[in-house]
Chain A
Amino acid sequence: MTRQRNPQDSKYRQADWNEPLLFEMSVSGKIAHRLPAVEDEVKSLVGSLDAIIPAAMRRKHSPNLPEISELQVVRHFTRLSQMNFSVSSGIYPLGSCTMKYNPLINEQAALNPGLAWLHPYQDVSTCQGALELMWELEQWLAELSGMDAVTLQPPAGAAGEFTGVMVIRAYHKHVMNEGDQRKEMLIPDAAHGTNPASAAMAGFKIVVLPSSSEGLVDLDALKAASGPQTAGLMLTNPNTIGVFEKDIGEIAGIVHDSGGLLYYDGANLNAIMGISRPGDMGFDVVHMNLHKTFSTPHGGGGPGSGAVGVKEKLTELLPVPRIVKAKDGRFDLNYNLPQSIGKVHGFYGNFGVLVRAYTYICALGREGLRRTSEIAVLNANYIAHHISQIQGFSLPYSPNTPRMHECVISAKNLAEETGVTAMHVAKRLLDLGVHSPTMYFPLIVPEALMIEPTESESKEDLDLLIGAFKQISNEAYSNPDIVKSAPHSTALRDLDEYRAAHPKTLTLSWKMHLKRTAK
């Protein structure tokens, strides 16, 4: 198919450099870096390498790594960076991922050598500032979530979930002596995939709760599913369709009465900072995605941080070490917690990410955090209202209830009337200079497009997004092929995913490529 660029498409697009792989640029003998020579005295004392490294363990063939010059390295990765869409390039309304602005002061802070160049096993007297930062961040996150203690160890949201459900497991097992009995974790059908995956890793049987016709927790279903076998309920509030679970008090009552605990997936915390707190709603354990609500960059997929907060009765179960502050104000690490679930990371978590979350909270402060949530909610409702007015799009489940920080739009009517699906809409948005929303999640919404604009987007950008949906709707009803064959203007299109995954053509490294093409 030849490419036709629609004059209405965005003029912005990723660079299309046709950049070769490093391996294809390699010329034997080139170098991009020099290391210092070993001092003669050192060499003469030590003698030959052959004498110190056993011959059987010496590498026999040099690794087939690229040999290129320093400028080639610079150009290569500069070009590859330009072949990407990012928050710095344009609106990125990927629902559930909270793609907000990543303030640059955060980056500068994390690069400060007094923070970046600390070894985790340094004497605590030489890293008091780092411990103070972490301790303060723990206090702030506890206050924000209404919890009594926080661990910063889990390196991502899913790791936070695993940590949290392990804490729940340890509570039933060691505190209540009901470990053998409480084997079931209740999880709504609309929950994020990491929830059931994390609970399964902690050894729980997953019991799926159907959503009510309003898209909320179905109280009857919850009552029927809860019992002496229940370990807990994993929930997010505002929930996955962006609506606040108004019956949260009753939900918590049902779970607690059955002896289970409430787990809060804090991926949606951006909606309620300073407005409402999971701890006050009755949740016992929460995880917070610092790479979402607290602005740390997503880095093309990570790193993140999944800090976990718990109520008083669970603090002894948190991972070791815990940061402690002595009466004299000195900080230390405490490894002596016999009931702890153990360790969930090699050290203390993604410290560099914690530094960024710390500076973000400093910069916004209590009034800024609250205002952040207000605008995040305002923006999401503005989007929900205006996009659901566009022909072909609707806002299923409780259409008259306000959304919180995100909304799930359905393209069901559009699909039925024009054959243009949510996938087509998402791909056409790419032509218009907008990143696609999250698609086909949650499963309870047909042709789902989950949009989370965040507070970072201005009204002008929101209008651009709404305008893009209008244009796509017009195209779908007048000339649907334009949308169905999208994208047209992106750097690359129509990649063969079947070929990518087929065992005969699967190519996960250059080594596999060479092996497969040699045949």
Chain B
Amino acid sequence: MEFKHPYLPVTKEIESEMLNSMGKKSLEDLFGNIPEDYRLKRDLDIPTSKTELEVARRVQELASKNKSADTGRVFLGAGAGIHYIPSVVPALATRSEFLTSYTSYQPEISQGMLQTLFEYQSMMAELLGIAVVNSSMYDMATGLAEAVLMAARVNKKRSRFLVPDTINPVHLQVINTFAEPAGITIEQVGHDQKSMLLDLADLRSKLDNQVAGVYVENPSYLGFIESQVDEMSRVVHDAGSLLVAGVDVLSLGILQPPGDYGSDIVVGEGQYLGSAVSYGGPYLGVFGCRDSMKLIRQLPGRLVGMTRTSNEPYERGFVLTLVPREQHIRREKATSNICSNQALVAVTAAVYTSTLGPEGFRHLGEIIAYRSHYAAKQLNKISGVTAPAFGASFWKEFVVRFEGGVSARMVHESLLKRDLHGGKILTEEYPEFGESMLLCVTELHSKTTIDELVEVVRNVVTNGGGTR
């Protein structure tokens, strides 16, 4: 029997008609160039075709083996953010005309996508306090790796790059992957043991005319706010290096934007802006720089520019611009190999950001600050628990330390039993912190749920791990 499928509009009868029209007898004639030796002479070892209903059932079966984090009971952050998504955001961002187009190579028929990406670039620029933002990188980790490469292109003769030793360890791993073949050495700058802030003396001692750039993470991976930014900016620029800032875009309703403290390149994770956590992807590398041609010419990624028609009466329009930086023109000399990016996630971020507006960003920043501090204060009341374990100030995430024979894993298991999920366990990666986890509190966590979390922790700690 003929195999029919909804995705395949060519029937056997049409197939013959088409073959006839080109003077071919069978499909085989079209594959004649593939030598026998390289033909697969068996069926693929892949299950047979399923109907849509069967596919939907299979997806549901897989989904039901997971525990969804949409309950407001998961206290994980560490580079992926669980936040509320207003209903207009997915409804608009997944409209088919956005979803099923590709890069706007033909501006005459893609003004909607181009304008949306220009608005994305513009709104990110306002939030970050910087002039230029590209139309997306893959995620914050790869964005940061590209920032390191870019700093070394701008500062051509320099091949060292400094990062705080409190940096997100996964980001460090990713930048090492990219920096090593480029001949760039990544070096770590120490921190003050109590405040966790960057050790400025160590920074000064490591800075010289070989340092292409210095990274500041704000708030840091471990949650604390790096407040010495003005001093850092001065020291870094005095050495002729670039300041690269990695920020939490959602904090910028209340925290100082990186452009204000002189950052030359800025990166951030844009998933927080209206995209689900989605098990780690697709995310959005927010990537920007100062308004300087020296920097702009070295930017990786696509840029949408505003222009107008060539002739009067002028009409405003948008195009992809400065393309000679890119791989399809410059090949091995391109500023990056990036081609397909995360445009739809940028569209999502644009809808989210315009939905929240300035008032929403300020309010969200405040809610998160209140809730996370409430959680820390309540946890800290428990004897044998320190929260935050260190740091002068924090915003959304903080490290909590457990003492008295209670391991972070025990706390984690007890929380799981109560259908709660604690923060990322840090004990193995940071043995110097003792038994610890990185808790993340957002607008999704109600006071009631935070109280529940605190109760479970109290129980574990008080009973030395013996949970009831």
Task: Give A340 Cβ to nearest chain B Cβ, in Å.
Answer: 10
- Determine if A92 is an interface residue (Cβ-Cβ < 8 Å): yes
Say yes or no: A49-B67 contact (C-beta < 8 A), given A107-B94, A193-B334, A352-B282: no
Minimum distance in angstroms from A95 CB to a CB of chain B: 11
Do B66 and A126 touch (CB < 8 A)? yes
Q: Which residues in A have their C-beta under 8 angstroms from that of B78?
A: 121
Chain B residues contacting A435 (CB-CB under 8 Å) are 106, 109
Residues of A within 8 A of B125 (CB): 508-512
Q: Does B386 contact A (CB under 8 A)?
A: no
Say which residue of B29, B86, B127, B183 sits within 8 Å of A203 (CB atoms): B183
Within 8 A of B (CB), among A131-178: 132-133, 140, 143-144, 155-159, 161-162, 166, 169
Contact assessment for B56 and A369 in the assembled complex, using a CB-CB cutoff below 8 Å: no
* A33 in the interface (beta carbon within 8 A): yes
* Residue B308 lies at the interface, judged by CB distance under 8 Å to chain A: yes
Q: Is the CB of B19 within 8 A of A274?
A: no
CB-contact partner of A22 in B102, B308, B354, B393, under 8 A: B354
Which residues 39-85 in B have Cβ within 8 Å of A in the complex? 39-40, 43-52, 54-56, 58-70, 74, 76, 78-80, 82, 84
Interface stretch of the complex, out of A301-309, A467-475, A476-484: A301-309
A345 touches B139 (CB 8 A): yes
Q: Which of A30, A53, A378 contacts B27 (CB 8 A)?
A: A378
Contacts of B47 in A (CB 8 A): 362, 365-366
Contacts of A513 in B (CB 8 A): 306
Of the stretches A222-230, A310-318, A413-421, A494-502, the one at the interface is: A494-502
Q: How far is the CA of A490 from the CA of B107 in the complex (A)?
A: 10
What's the nearest-Cβ distance from chain A to residue B137, in Å? 9
Q: B22 contacts which chain A residues (CB < 8 A)?
A: 381-382, 385-386
Interface residues of A in 90-128 (CB under 8 A from B): 92, 94, 97, 99-103, 105, 107-123, 125-128
Contact of A117 among B68, B121, B329 (CB under 8 A): B68
Cβ-neighbour of B80 out of A80, A121, A280, A457 (below 8 A): A121
Say yes or no: A73 contacts B92, CB within 8 Å: yes
Q: How far is the CA of A113 from the CA of B69 in the complex (A)?
A: 8
Any A CB within 8 A of the CB of B457:
no
The answer to whether B321 touches A501, judged by C-beta atoms less than 8 angstroms apart, is yes
Q: Which of A28-43 contact B (CB under 8 A)?
A: 30-33, 35-36, 38-39, 41-43
Return the contact of B227 from the options A54, A369, A493 (Cβ within 8 A): A54
Interface residue from B296, B337, B351 paired with A77 (Cβ < 8 Å): B351
Contact of B127 among A1, A63, A506 (CB under 8 A): A63
With an 8 A cutoff between CB atoms, is B238 at the interface? no
A115 with B278, Cβ < 8 A, contacts A74-B92, A344-B177, A346-B79 known: yes
A351 and B278: CB pair below 8 A?
A: yes
Asked if B138 and A155 sit within 8 Å, CB to CB, the answer is yes
Question: Quick check: is A491 within 8 A (CB to CB) of the other chain?
Answer: yes
What CA separation (Å) do A162 and B55 show in the bound complex?
33
Chain B residues with CB under 8 Å of A212's CB are none
A379 within 8 A of B: yes
Is the beta-carbon distance between B359 and A67 smaller than 8 angstroms? yes
Query: Complex: how many Å from CA A204 to CA B8?
Result: 42
Q: Mark B89-109, 1 if CB is under 8 A from A, else 0.
A: 011111111111111111111
Task: Flag if B354 contacts A52 (CB, 8 Å).
Answer: no
B63, B68, B332, B370: the one within 8 Å of A206 (CB): B332
The stretch from B201-209, B297-305, B400-408 touching chain A is B297-305
- Distance A2 CA – B366 CA, assembled complex (angstroms): 54
Chain B nearest CB, measured from A426 CB (Å): 8
Instruction: Tell me if A210 counts as interface (CB < 8 A to partner B).
Output: no
Contact with B along A61-92 (1 / 0, CB 8 A): 01111111010011011111111111111001
Q: B30 and A301: CB pair below 8 A?
A: no
In the complex, A325 Cα to B323 Cα: how many Å? 44
Interchain CA distance A89-B109 in the complex, whole Å = 11
Contact of A377 among B31, B321, B328 (CB under 8 A): B31
A278 to B232, CA, bound (A): 52
Within 8 Å CB of B369, what residues of A?
46, 49, 52-53
Q: How far is the CA of A59 from the CA of B104 in the complex (A)?
A: 35
How many Å lie between the Cα of A336 and that of B402 in the bound state? 27
Of A32, A67, A81, A382, chain B has the most CB atoms within 10 Å of the CB of: A81
Interface set, chain B 106-133, CB cutoff 8 A to A: 106-113, 115-119, 121-123, 125-127, 129, 131-133
In B142-198, which residues have CB < 8 Å from any A CB? Answer: 142, 149, 170-171, 173-174, 176-178, 181-183
Chain B proximity mask over A240-256: 1 for CB below 8 Å, otherwise 0: 00011010110000000
Please indicate the chain A residues that have their CB under 8 angstroms from the CB of B458 in the complex. none
Bound complex: CA of A127 vs CA of B14, how far in Å?
A: 45
Distance A368 CA – B37 CA, assembled complex (angstroms): 23
In this assembly, does A326 line the interface, its C-beta being within 8 Å of a C-beta of chain B? Answer: no
Question: Which among A42, A88, A202, A381 is the interface contact of B181 at CB below 8 angstroms?
Answer: A202
Q: In the complex, are the beta carbons of A83 and B278 less than 8 A apart?
A: no
Q: Please indicate the chain B residues that have their CB under 8 angstroms from the CB of A301 in the complex.
A: 102-104, 113, 117, 135-136, 302, 340-344
- B317 at the A interface (CB under 8 A): yes
Residue pair B367, A38 in contact (C-beta under 8 Å): yes
Within 8 A of A (CB), among B317-369: 317, 319, 321-322, 326-334, 336-345, 347, 350-351, 353-364, 366-367, 369
Taking a contact as CB atoms closer than 8 A, the residue among A73, A79, A111, A496 that contacts B88 in the complex is A73
Q: In the assembly, what is the distance between CA of A144 and CA of B79, in Å?
A: 33
Residue numbers in B under 8 Å from A456 (CB-CB): 7-9
A53 touches B395 (CB 8 A): yes
Residues of A within 8 A of B363 (CB): 35
Residue among A60, A108, A276, A426 with max Cβ neighbours from chain B (10 Å)? A276
Chain B contacts of A66 at CB under 8 A? Answer: 123, 354, 357
Q: How far is the CB of A339 from chain B (nearest CB, A)?
A: 13
B252 close to chain A: CB less than 8 A: yes
Nearest 8 interchain pairs by C-beta: A347-B280, A114-B63, A299-B344, A83-B112, A365-B49, A301-B343, A129-B65, A346-B141
**Could you jot down 13 A-B contacts, CB within 8 Å?**
A73-B88, A73-B92, A87-B101, A155-B142, A193-B339, A196-B331, A300-B113, A302-B136, A343-B141, A370-B43, A372-B7, A378-B30, A491-B108
Known: A58-B254, A114-B65. 20 other contacts (CB 8 A): A14-B109, A32-B88, A39-B446, A65-B353, A84-B97, A113-B68, A119-B279, A121-B78, A122-B421, A132-B62, A158-B327, A193-B329, A193-B330, A197-B331, A200-B334, A341-B177, A349-B280, A366-B48, A402-B32, A493-B309
